[in-house]
């Protein structure tokens, strides 16, 4: 739980940053001497920025329409540089400003921001899109792109805190409901109204294979038409997205899901992951225990899928798991965060591989462990070098021992257990073998003493230790 308390604190800092009162600043100018059209917004305290933004909108709409392009470009630049910005409140006002100025040129960046790890940015991007495209629903390619992205966000697995904004935006764009009425609906009511809109406009939507997976899964879970359900599940299988996995697991244990659909969804899980849905013997298949067992196996399996698709999937799942934990803290939610973090530490090679768009909390979770991973890998290479002397190899082991003793050390070190076992199995130097035993003990929390004077005795101790590790089933240990 300590890991997630840290996540809660860090993410709360992000969410609360927009309400911090800033110290007044002097109006800014660029290096070329051209006035910054956002200088008044920058120089105003956070609580007063809404009034300044309203004045900028009035300036464009009534007083100085010729300033529109300059203001839009400045707001767009601030928004697109958000990952380097230390003023998330200003970024948020720029997003809302782009909406209020009907800046269609901001559509693609705003669509991208719907997937931003920062909850506030995602919420404001949806709101801005709803204002830009208000009342313009139809079959045009641009508005259809916006509708599909907002529907994906509405139907996706996100905390209820985020869901209303995409739903309200869809209602505004497509004249489903006035914005004030839509804002008064619950999440389920919003989804139901959008379901009606999707059903009524199905002929104007793209084929299932071209729709976001969230829309396709929603259809598969809610339709009463068996043929339509089969088409949706087939489309999910053909699309091959991994993101539906967690919602599918939720559907397997939902009382609203009939057994016939559960069977199809279980087969879909196997097709998407290559890991059959096979509950442990004696465990009923549609229970939380069965789902938890399959998920645990999948998280171990995904560690070996070292490609960009699986790394991106695990990253997105980690962001979602953090949001779910913050919405409904529990031991199970905390464990899921820890498991996904461990999997991502397998898949990313170093801190530079952490996605730029990752939330501050995820970056904090990953940066130090991945730094340790790089140090362990470098020093393991030294150990495996036949030309390295005993002193050089001891220094390498001292570095590795120091890294695995850190709080994140056992999680990172688990990736290197089998190479260390292979080295220990053939290590002639008792001092070095003893050090390796200490490192393996630290990583696995299973004591291992490799200080016997003969290689045969050390190998016998290593074999017994491997048997204990296999019984524990926390890590796959193999002899060379």
Query: Do residues 110 and 76 touch, judged by C-beta distance below 8 A?
Result: no
Q: How many other CB atoms are there within 10 angstroms of residue 3's CB atom?
A: 16
Rounded to an integer, the average pLDDT of 427-446 is 96
Cα–Cα distance for residue pair 162/149, rounded to 1 Å: 14
What stretches of 47-186 show up as alpha helix (H) in DSSP? 49-58, 68-80, 88-100, 107-113, 119-132, 141-155, 164-173, 179-182
pLDDT band at 164 (very low <50, low <70, confident <90, very high): confident
Q: How far is CA 43 from CA 64, 254, 399, in A?
A: 21, 51, 49
Distance between start and end Cα atoms, the chain:
36
Q: Which two tokens stand for residue 183?
A: 């804002």
pLDDT band at 205 (very low <50, low <70, confident <90, very high): confident
Query: Do residues 306 and 347 touch, judged by C-beta distance below 8 A?
Result: yes
Q: Which two tokens stand for residue 39?
A: 């200088």
> Looking at residue 63, what is its pLDDT?
84
The sign of the torsion formed by the CA atoms of 248, 250, 256, 259 equals: positive
| pLDDT tens, residue by residue, 122-143 | 989 999 999 999 999 876 889 9
Cα–Cα distance for residue pair 303/347, rounded to 1 Å: 6
> Looking at residue 31, what is its pLDDT?
37
Q: CB neighbours of 437 closer than 8 A, spacing ≥ 6? A: 424, 448, 449, 450, 451, 461
The sign of the torsion formed by the CA atoms of 165, 169, 175, 178 equals: positive
Classify 338 in phi/psi space as left (phi over 0), alpha (psi -120 to 50) or beta: alpha
- 17-31, 74-88, 274-288, 345-359: the lowest-pLDDT one: 17-31
Rounded to an integer, the average pLDDT of 152-160 is 74
| pLDDT tens, residue by residue, 305-319 | 989 999 999 999 999
% of residues, the chain, pLDDT over 90: 76
The domains of the chain are located at 382-472
Cα–Cα distance for residue pair 117/97, rounded to 1 Å: 21
The sign of the torsion formed by the CA atoms of 145, 149, 150, 154 equals: positive
- Whose CA is closest to 251, among 239, 238, 261? 261
Rounded to an integer, the average pLDDT of 347-376 is 94
Cα–Cα distance for residue pair 26/78, rounded to 1 Å: 18
| pLDDT tens, residue by residue, 223-234 | 999 999 999 999
Is the pLDDT at 50 greater than 50, yes or no?
A: yes
Q: b/e for 101-129, b at 16 or more Cβ within 10 A? A: bbbeebbebbbebbbbbbbbbbbbbbbbb
Q: Which two tokens stand for residue 163?
A: 């869901």
Cα–Cα distance for residue pair 397/383, rounded to 1 Å: 8
Phi first, then psi: give them for residue 405, nearest 5 degrees: -85, -10
| pLDDT tens, residue by residue, 395-408 | 999 999 999 999 99
Query: Do residues 304 and 273 touch, judged by C-beta distance below 8 A?
Result: no
Given the structure tokens 């917004």, which residue do they identify? 41
Q: How far is CA 52 from CA 61, 115, 229, 319, in A?
A: 14, 28, 50, 33
- Burial (CB < 10 A; 0-12, 13-18, 19+), residue 180, is exposed
Cα–Cα distance for residue pair 449/437, rounded to 1 Å: 6
Is the pLDDT at 1 greater than 50, yes or no?
A: no
- pTM for the structure as a whole: 0.80
User: In the predicted model, what is the mean pLDDT of the chain?
Assistant: 89
> Looking at residue 12, what is its pLDDT?
38
Number of H helices, E strands in the chain: 24, 0
Given the structure tokens 């229970």, which residue do they identify? 287
Q: CB neighbours of 374 closer than 8 A, spacing ≥ 6? A: 349, 350, 351
| pLDDT tens, residue by residue, 3-42 | 444 444 433 333 333 322 232 333 333 333 348 899 999 9
| pLDDT tens, residue by residue, 240-257 | 999 999 999 999 999 999
> Looking at residue 474, what is its pLDDT?
66
- Burial (CB < 10 A; 0-12, 13-18, 19+), residue 458, is buried
Cα–Cα distance for residue pair 247/241, rounded to 1 Å: 12
């Amino acid at each position: 739980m300590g890991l997630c308390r840290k996540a809660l604190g860090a993410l709360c800092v992000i969410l609360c940053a927009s309400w911090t009162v800033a110290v007044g600043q002097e109006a800014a100018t660029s290096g070329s001497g051209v006035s910054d059209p956002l200088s008044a917004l920058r120089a105003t305290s956070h609580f007063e920025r809404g009034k300044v933004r309203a004045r900028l909108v009035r300036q464009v709409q009534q007083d100085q329409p010729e300033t529109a392009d300059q203001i839009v470009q400045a707001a767009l630049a601030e928004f697109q540089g958000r990952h380097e910005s230390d003023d998330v409140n200003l970024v948020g006002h720029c997003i809302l400003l782009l909406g209020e100025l009907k800046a269609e040129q901001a559509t693609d960046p705003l669509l991208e921001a719907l997937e931003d790890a920062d909850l506030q940015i995602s919420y404001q991007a949806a709101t801005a899109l709803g204002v830009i495209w208000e009342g313009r629903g139809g079959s045009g390619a641009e508005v259809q792109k916006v509708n599909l992205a907002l529907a994906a966000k509405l139907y996706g697995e996100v905390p209820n805190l985020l869901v209303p904004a995409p739903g309200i935006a869809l209602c505004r764009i497509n004249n489903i409901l006035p914005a004030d009425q839509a804002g008064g609906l619950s999440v389920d009511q919003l989804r139901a109204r959008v379901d009606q809109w999707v059903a009524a406009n199905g002929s104007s939507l793209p084929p299932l294979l071209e729709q976001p997976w969230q829309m396709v899964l929603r259809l598969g879970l809610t339709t009463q038409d068996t043929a339509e359900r089969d088409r949706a599940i087939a489309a999910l299988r053909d699309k091959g997205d991994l993101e539906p996995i967690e919602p599918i697991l939720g559907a397997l244990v939902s009382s609203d899901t009939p057994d016939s659909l559960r069977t199809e969804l279980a087969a879909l899980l196997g097709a998407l992951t290559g890991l059959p849905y096979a509950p442990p013997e004696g465990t009923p298949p549609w229970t939380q225990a069965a789902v938890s067992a399959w998920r645990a196996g999948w998280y171990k399996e995904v560690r070996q899928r070292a490609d960009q698709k699986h790394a991106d999937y695990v990253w997105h799942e980690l962001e979602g798991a953090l949001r779910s934990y913050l919405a409904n803290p529990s031991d199970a939610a905390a464990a899921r965060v820890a498991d996904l973090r461990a999997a991502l530490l397998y898949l990313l090679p170093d801190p530079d591989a952490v996605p730029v768009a990752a939330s501050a909390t995820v970056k904090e979770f990953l940066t130090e462990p991945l730094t340790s991973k790089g140090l362990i890998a470098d020093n393991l290479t030294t150990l495996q070098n036949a030309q390295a002397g005993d002193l050089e190899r001891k220094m390498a082991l001292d570095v590795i021992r120091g890294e695995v003793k850190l709080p994140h050390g056992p999680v990172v070190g688990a990736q290197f257990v089998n190479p260390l076992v292979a080295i220990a199995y053939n290590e002639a130097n008792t001092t070095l073998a003893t050090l390796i035993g200490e490192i393996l003990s630290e990583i696995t929390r299973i004591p291992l003493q490799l200080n016997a004077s003969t290689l045969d005795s050390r190998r016998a101790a290593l074999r017994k230790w491997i048997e204990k590790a296999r019984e524990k089933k926390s890590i796959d240990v193999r002899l060379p």
